[in-house]
Structure 1
Amino acid sequence: MSATVADPLQPWREAWPQALATWSRFTRLQDPKLCHSRMQAAAEGLTGSFAAIRLADQRIVIDLEEVQRLQLQPYALEILAHEIGHHVLAPATASDHARLLARIRRALPTLEAHAPMVANLYTDLLINDRLQRQSGLRMDAIYRRLAAQPAQASSPVWQLYMGIYEELWQQPRGTLGGSTDDSALQGDAWLGARVVRVYASDWMIGAGRFATLLLPWLLESQQDARVDALMDTRHAGQGSQPVGLGQLEDDELAPAPHPASDPRITGDERGGGAQQKSDLPADALVGGPAHSPGQMREPFEYGQILRAAGLDLDDHQIAVRYYRERALPHLIRYPSRPQPQAQEPLPEGLQPWEAGDALDAVDWLQSVLQSPHVIPGLTTVQRVHGLAPGREPAVEPVDLDLYVDSSGSMPNPQAWTSFLTLAGAIIALSALRVGARVQATLWSGTGQHLHTDGFVRSEDDILKVLTGYFGGATAFPIHRLRDTYAERPPHARAVHILHISDDGITTMFDKDERGNSGWDVAAKALRVAGGGGTMALNLFSPLPSRIANAGNAGWTGDLLRARDAGWNIHVVRDMADLLQFARAFSQQHYGPGGMRVQ
């Protein structure tokens, strides 16, 4: 009889409970994905390394083929415990992963592309030092195996990184792959070990210091396969939803000092206790000038951070996330007051109660009166209710028909903050909160328009429209306004028409492709909509006094005529003022008291 082939997964299954217990006996994660081949691992999102984490579903993926190639089979417990550490300690969540990358990017001017690698190395140090010293795991043995792998040359980053482990664990220099003859590398290895220990419980703050330490060595380093093999958080954020990235945090704004200038590291309150190994200017080493408190990130920077975190998103998808996050703090509160009923329940009679009906629906008194022997499903009855007109009127929200200018005078919302897009997002999402439907139209030159499929309730559909960009000429799509209200049912819900633009809105009053007057189209739309109309316009002078004094020529005269025709014209002198307008408009139309009586 042939010998039974050992199950290669068995050691990993046995090590899994022990690995969880190294962090806490209460640690709970889904079982790891143990992949027999690189192809299977790639299907799970693992490439380039022998292990990885997924923050979206809190999973660990192990490539057993790569583990075998690197001769790491005896270290199942250590590898699993390390990957669990990424879920438990650092970065732990998708949001903290993105925040960590944001800090590291600021400390790596011109080398921001290396931020994911630096973040991976830094969190590995935090996790491995704890497992080696507190849990007694053989983390150093793993690095000895990796150091023994054939390589053309050890990069400065690898030598510095291994030197930090040698300092942390009091290993002889060079035993893990650290430098044995470069005093600058050895000095920075000592500083790196101090960063890990001093900021172990405040690792988000220490991240910038660690990145500043690595910055000059990154300039000298070439690609190192052994460093690549450690990248287990490279795609960790794929499919996740990081939040809280729109605004720069106060502690992120402070420049990150080199560890040699940090008195918490050196113990020298005067700072500057060691020489920085760099020819870069001082402002580059500390992450450049600080931002003002409360400053918001631009969409392009927001997108760079998400991509560094492993999210595979295009500019448009990133913009949707960005403006949703920026809009949320300004939305109206969810309605919390009791809504009056249009109709009230009225008892009308009895019907049999059968098994499967709600138990609390049984009318026990009437059931007993009909038969003293209660038999469920045979003698049990329940009361039937009809509806009678209520004493208070019902209310309903006003739908929103939103038109946003995307001509060349407007910023691209996918690269820079567009207050037109932000204002539109705030108002549209506030309308959705109270049950209204929204039709959004983005427009620029002739034939350049993007719109939702009528009035919808989908946030994503609306934001996809608002975050688009044309940057062309200025020609309002009159046919959109005409067709929306051409055959609207007479008893349809009232609609408020809102335009966000500048003086280019007056192209709405030109003739359409059929020769119809834009004035007539706008007047009919305003009449049929039944909920009023507003123009929020970025103009150089306030209305109505300046325009009234300027006479009736050009666009000023058109706006005066529009105001007299029933359009409420709100003027902002700066695009940023649209934020205040959006909040006030949302409160007026969708806050308490903004609902219409049916």
Structure 2
Amino acid sequence: MTKAAKPLPKALLPTWEKEWEPSLACWSSHLRLSKPRFCLTNKDEKAQGLTQSFAMIRLTDHAVVISLKQVAERNLGEFPRQILAHEIGHHVLTPADLTDNAKLQARTRAGLPGREQFAPYVANLYADILINDRLQRSAGLDMAEVFRALNRNAVKSRGKGTPGSLWSLYLLIYEFLWALPPGDLAGNRAYSDDRLRVDGDLGARLARVYSRDWLGGAGRFAALCLPHLMADTPKKKTPELPPWLDALKAGAGSSAPDGLTDLEPEEIGGARHPANDPSITGLDLGDTAEPGDGAGQTDTGGTGSTYRPPSEYTELMQALGVELSAEELIMKYYREKALPHLIPFPKRRVFKAVDPVPEGVEPWDPSSPLADVDWIESLIRSPLPIPGVTTVQRTYGEQSGFEPEDQPVDLYVGVDCSGSMTNPKIDLSYPVLASVIMTLSALRAGARAMVCLSGEHPGSPNYSRYAETPGFVRQTKTVLTTLTNYLGSGSAYGVGRLKAAFLDPDAPHETDRPTHILIITDLDIFMMLDGTKGGWSIAERAVAKAGAGGTMVLHAEANSNPSQTEQLRGIGYDVFHVQNWEDVVAFAREFSRTLFQGQGAGAKHGR
């Protein structure tokens, strides 16, 4: 008996195209999506970016991509509605959009300590279970038959080898969900393994309990999969997974979703094993809850903190397929953290010429606005106006007046970047975040900003480093690139940087642009002022030359170094003490709101 020949991809195309509308109707008769991209050749797959699967979705353009070439090779041609409806489900149910896709990945990563790199695979399996269960029960589609076909293909490619533990668990969950005969999908091995059988039952319960709160169940599903994933990946190699991983690169592209710099309350607390979840087991654990069930856990590395560290944020974005460099992701992280705190930067009033004075006429060109034509002068020259020849327009000069105009105060920010400071690429650096808040507020108001990172030793140039913007700039990217750099050298901010910025002959500061100097450092600044030749004089002359006052933010107790603190105030600097670096963010917000507004530049408000 000869085997039936596999259909050619092109022969499948009419049937699959015809099934698109009925597949949409499986979710809603009002649903509209762009038609799927069918790939008939390897070239088509490459053009669409289709790898590791015969189907995929893209959330960036809400696309569904199907390789009919692979469908034919895997003998899946008879399941167009099941496969198309499944892909549509990723756009309708989960993950649906870029932000929820990122949250799904984050919740999954929390449940896979030590195996976070496999979060995209586990998240894909979890979403598939929810979608397939909905289609099997509510839309009347035989999704089980698709997996029987996939199993037959897997046996051919694997031979007599044993399927992986995670793959067996995945199929066993479907058997429990759909009350299939034991071993129908997962094989007899699954029922001879007590751990697999119990976890399969828990996974099926989880899918039903969290079917309408799928984000809430993601961490629990990951915790359920973790021991099986570890068994399959003793050397952290990719485990055996189905050829239907259609959402691995759903969020790939140059757009990084917002809202991921902070941890959600459920992200860590929700990464508990389903056996410890009363809503799944039906048991009231009460005071008998075991360690690891999520009770008493904090949201991140610090007690009670709710931010996602920059290093973890970068890993998450890269796992999503965001096509930005690590440096660009760090800049986006701090900018997003700063946005809630931004306010218009304070402005000071100056007197400027505002009264226009007529001075004469000049030829009017047809490319200029018609309203600029001085018709009286033009008609005096010729009763028959010829555009560009006899037409003229009035010119105006300016007369000094006394109407005040707001002019933003430029900002110079010096940040201590010595070895005692946090690397902003690894963990959240509050001095950097505060600097971003203040500089972006300045740029938003039309001011210019100069940023300098400095980690220096007095009189020891070999141990001194600094990085700064090329003078006072208006470019946000230039400012953020400098602020998110890290030096980790020296002991304090170098006073010599003020000399270079304000006092040297080629200093970038312009005398007609009032500038406020703000330095964020610690008590080592006094060692720098004392140890640098003419250090106190440099600081005093710089703030006088800047013309809009200065501020020193010191990480220290309020009564530390009282005599030197008073000396700083005496030469023109307000002094603010912050006992915890977290407090510098509140200072940055308050600084931008009140330090200048209604009081004028250079007002004394130290504490």
Report TM bin, short chain: 0.7 to 0.9
- Matching residue of 1:188: 199
Partner amino acid, structure 2, of 1:442:
L
Q: Does 1:254 align with 2:269?
A: yes
Aligned-pair CA distance for 1:329:
1.9
Paired with 1:173 and 1:340, the residues of 2 have a C-alpha distance of 87
TM-score normalised over the length of structure 1: 0.79
Aligned-pair CA distance for 1:314:
5.4
Residues 44-55 of structure 1 mapped to structure 2, 5 A cutoff: 44-55=48-59
Paired with 2:596 and 2:73, the residues of 1 have a C-alpha distance of 62
Alpha-carbon distance change, 481 to 166 in structure 1, aligned in 2, over 3 angstroms:
same
Alpha-carbon distance change, 319 to 256 in structure 1, aligned in 2, over 3 angstroms:
same
Residues 508-547 of structure 1 mapped to structure 2, 5 A cutoff: 509=529, 517-542=534-559, 546-547=561-562
Partner amino acid, structure 1, of 2:574:
N
- Matching residue of 2:297: 289
My pick for the range that moved more, 343-352 or 177-186, is 343-352
Partner amino acid, structure 2, of 1:231:
L
Paired with 1:506 and 1:595, the residues of 2 have a C-alpha distance of 25
- The alignment partner of 1:575 has SS state of coil
Alpha-carbon distance change, 201 to 353 in structure 1, aligned in 2, over 3 angstroms:
farther
- Matching residue of 2:26: 22
Residues 560-571 of structure 1 mapped to structure 2, 5 A cutoff: 560-571=566-577
Residues 568-583 of structure 1 mapped to structure 2, 5 A cutoff: 568-583=574-589
Aligned-pair CA distance for 1:398:
0.8
Unaligned residue ranges in structure 1 (runs of 5+): 273-280, 371-376, 549-555
Q: Does 1:229 align with 2:243?
A: yes
Alpha-carbon distance change, 75 to 399 in structure 1, aligned in 2, over 3 angstroms:
farther
Paired with 1:461 and 1:397, the residues of 2 have a C-alpha distance of 19
My pick for the range that moved more, 109-118 or 400-409, is 109-118
TM-score normalised over the length of structure 2: 0.78
Of 82, 86, 89 in structure 1, the residue corresponding to residue 90 of structure 2 is 86
Partner amino acid, structure 1, of 2:550:
G
Paired with 2:145 and 2:257, the residues of 1 have a C-alpha distance of 35
Aligned-pair CA distance for 1:383:
10
Alpha-carbon distance change, 167 to 221 in structure 1, aligned in 2, over 3 angstroms:
same
Partner amino acid, structure 1, of 2:488:
G
Residues 123-522 of structure 1 mapped to structure 2, 5 A cutoff: 123-149=127-153, 150=156, 151=158, 152-177=161-186, 179-222=190-233, 227-238=241-252, 239-266=254-281, 268-270=282-284, 282-284=290-292, 286=294, 289-291=297-299, 295-311=306-322, 315-332=326-343, 343=354, 392-445=403-456, 446-474=463-491, 476-477=493-494, 480-485=497-502, 486-487=504-505, 492-506=512-526, 509=529, 517-522=534-539
Alpha-carbon distance change, 354 to 560 in structure 1, aligned in 2, over 3 angstroms:
closer
Paired with 1:414 and 1:189, the residues of 2 have a C-alpha distance of 40
Q: Is the 8 A contact 1:107 1:285 kept in 2?
A: no
Residues 548-567 of structure 1 mapped to structure 2, 5 A cutoff: 548=563, 556=564, 559-567=565-573
Aligned-pair CA distance for 1:424:
0.9
Aligned-pair CA distance for 1:257:
4.3
- The alignment partner of 2:413 has SS state of strand
Aligned-pair CA distance for 1:164:
1.5
Identity %: 40
Paired with 1:36 and 1:346, the residues of 2 have a C-alpha distance of 72
- The alignment partner of 1:311 has SS state of coil
Q: Is the 8 A contact 1:146 1:226 kept in 2?
A: no
- The alignment partner of 2:489 has SS state of coil
Alpha-carbon distance change, 408 to 6 in structure 1, aligned in 2, over 3 angstroms:
closer
Q: Is the 8 A contact 1:248 1:297 kept in 2?
A: yes
Q: Does 1:118 align with 2:122?
A: yes
- The alignment partner of 2:280 has SS state of helix
Q: Is the 8 A contact 1:108 1:287 kept in 2?
A: no
Spell out, residue by residue over 1:245-282, the C-alpha distance to the aligned partner (whole angstroms, 9 max, x if none): 2322233353544334434334x35359xxxxxxxx95
Aligned-pair CA distance for 1:91:
1.4
Alpha-carbon distance change, 17 to 355 in structure 1, aligned in 2, over 3 angstroms:
farther
Aligned-pair CA distance for 1:25:
4.5
Aligned-pair CA distance for 1:73:
3.5
- The alignment partner of 1:501 has SS state of strand
Partner amino acid, structure 1, of 2:251:
G
Paired with 1:420 and 1:518, the residues of 2 have a C-alpha distance of 23
Alpha-carbon distance change, 118 to 287 in structure 1, aligned in 2, over 3 angstroms:
farther
Paired with 1:297 and 1:500, the residues of 2 have a C-alpha distance of 23
Partner amino acid, structure 1, of 2:163:
S
Alpha-carbon distance change, 28 to 121 in structure 1, aligned in 2, over 3 angstroms:
same
Paired with 2:527 and 2:47, the residues of 1 have a C-alpha distance of 53
Aligned-pair CA distance for 1:342:
7.3
Q: Is the 8 A contact 2:261 2:308 kept in 1?
A: yes
- The alignment partner of 1:53 has SS state of strand
Alpha-carbon distance change, 5 to 455 in structure 1, aligned in 2, over 3 angstroms:
same
Paired with 1:18 and 1:128, the residues of 2 have a C-alpha distance of 16
Alpha-carbon distance change, 541 to 388 in structure 1, aligned in 2, over 3 angstroms:
closer
Paired with 2:369 and 2:24, the residues of 1 have a C-alpha distance of 44
Paired with 2:470 and 2:486, the residues of 1 have a C-alpha distance of 18
- The alignment partner of 1:195 has SS state of helix
Q: Is the 8 A contact 1:122 1:210 kept in 2?
A: yes
Spell out, residue by residue over 1:282-308, the C-alpha distance to the aligned partner (whole angstroms, 9 max, x if none): 534659834466622322333333333
Alpha-carbon distance change, 455 to 73 in structure 1, aligned in 2, over 3 angstroms:
farther
Alpha-carbon distance change, 307 to 508 in structure 1, aligned in 2, over 3 angstroms:
same
Partner amino acid, structure 1, of 2:264:
E
Partner amino acid, structure 1, of 2:297:
P
- Matching residue of 1:275: none
Alpha-carbon distance change, 206 to 507 in structure 1, aligned in 2, over 3 angstroms:
same
Spell out, residue by residue over 1:505-524, the C-alpha distance to the aligned partner (whole angstroms, 9 max, x if none): 34654788xxx744444344
Alpha-carbon distance change, 75 to 255 in structure 1, aligned in 2, over 3 angstroms:
closer
Q: Is the 8 A contact 1:94 1:237 kept in 2?
A: yes
Paired with 1:340 and 1:59, the residues of 2 have a C-alpha distance of 58
Aligned-pair CA distance for 1:525:
2.6
- Matching residue of 2:71: 67
Paired with 1:351 and 1:193, the residues of 2 have a C-alpha distance of 83
